């Protein structure tokens, strides 16, 4: 299936640029990824004590520019183009404003969907509780959008926040089974990285973004009926 093909291509691409991507992953943590760790570290105890843990996604917003910078590196690595550490810093400088705005939109969306799920689950009427299933489906859809969105942003010839969001929404909607499988694979790889803690630092962010990069590449190839010409690849 296409999702497993994307996973295999992602792992191969990561291996081919292993040392460069280990460094890029570490840069991601230093230049913004630590906000994701802060969201988890602060959100988990709030969940345990019944506090406002649903605010945790907002803490991760500043990680957006670093994620775009990492996606800029992986966009080229996924297409076997020349890539080096400078593409990380170039991507950070070029996309940081748009990436921050996208990250804020994604985080607000996560928070609102979680709040709706919690609201309807807490109702006593079974019919009202059923609405929670609708928002759970929306949350899964929104999560799949987030796998694609930063690779889409850096792959656009004329990158824009709303244009990238629209394209990611359309891509996830047009390929529902593929998107859910990619999301499940990303979740499994995340779980593996947590178990093998060192992978969280040196591989996890890059592998997840690489899944999005190869997913975009495959969808563009299928839409065009041939090899992708890497739109925007030489823009940096």
- The rounded distance, in Å, linking the Cα atoms of 19 and 7 is 19
- The rounded distance, in Å, linking the Cα atoms of 32 and 66 is 5
- The rounded distance, in Å, linking the Cα atoms of 150 and 147 is 7
pLDDT of residue 195: 93
Where does the chain have alpha helices with state H? 2-16, 18-28, 34-49, 56-59, 64-77, 86-121, 126-129, 131-155, 161-174, 176-195, 198-202, 204-224
Residue among 137, 150, 139 nearest 111 (CA): 139
- Report which DSSP code applies to 79: T
Q: Quick check: 48 and 71 in contact, CB under 8 A?
A: no
Q: Could you tell me the pLDDT band of residue 220, with boundaries at 50, 70 and 90?
A: confident
CA-based torsion, 106, 111, 112, 118: positive or negative: positive
- Report which DSSP code applies to 54: G
Average pLDDT score over residue span 45-68: 93
Query: Residue 6, SS3?
Result: helix
Question: Is residue 236 pLDDT above 50, yes or no?
Answer: no
For the record, the structure tokens of 18 come out as: 């292993």
- What torsion do the CA atoms of 230, 32, 109, 160 make, to the nearest 10 degrees? -40
- The rounded distance, in Å, linking the Cα atoms of 28 and 9 is 22
Measured between its terminal Cα atoms, the distance across the chain in Å is 33
Residue among 15, 32, 42, 41 nearest 210 (CA): 15
Q: Could you tell me the pLDDT band of residue 234, with boundaries at 50, 70 and 90?
A: very low
pLDDT of residue 226: 46
pLDDT of residue 53: 92
pLDDT of residue 40: 93
Please, what is the average pLDDT of the chain?
Answer: 91
């Amino acid at each position: 299936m296409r999702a497993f093909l994307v996973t295999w291509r992602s792992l191969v691409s990561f291996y081919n640029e292993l040392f460069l991507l280990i460094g890029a992953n570490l840069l991601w943590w230093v230049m913004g990824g630590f906000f994701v760790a802060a969201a988890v570290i602060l959100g988990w105890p709030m969940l345990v004590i019944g506090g406002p843990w649903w605010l945790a996604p907002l803490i991760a917003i500043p990680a957006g520019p670093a994620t775009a910078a990492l996606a800029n590196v992986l966009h080229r690595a996924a297409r076997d183009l020349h890539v080096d550490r400078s593409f990380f810093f170039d991507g950070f400088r070029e996309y940081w404003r748009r990436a921050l705005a996208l990250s804020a939109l994604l985080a607000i969306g996560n928070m609102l969907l979680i709040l709706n799920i919690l609201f309807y689950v807490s109702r006593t009427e079974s019919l009202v509780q059923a609405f929670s299933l609708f928002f759970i489906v929306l949350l899964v859809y929104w999560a799949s959008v987030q796998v694609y969105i930063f690779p889409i942003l850096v792959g656009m010839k004329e990158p824009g926040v709303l244009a990238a969001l629209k394209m990611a929404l359309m891509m996830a909607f047009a390929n529902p089974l593929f998107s859910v499988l990619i999301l499940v694979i990303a979740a499994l790889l995340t779980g593996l990285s947590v178990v093998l803690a060192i992978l969280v630092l040196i591989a996890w962010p890059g592998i997840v973004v690489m899944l999005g990069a190869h997913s975009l590449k495959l969808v563009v190839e299928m839409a065009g009926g041939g090899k992708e010409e890497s739109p925007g690849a030489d823009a940096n």
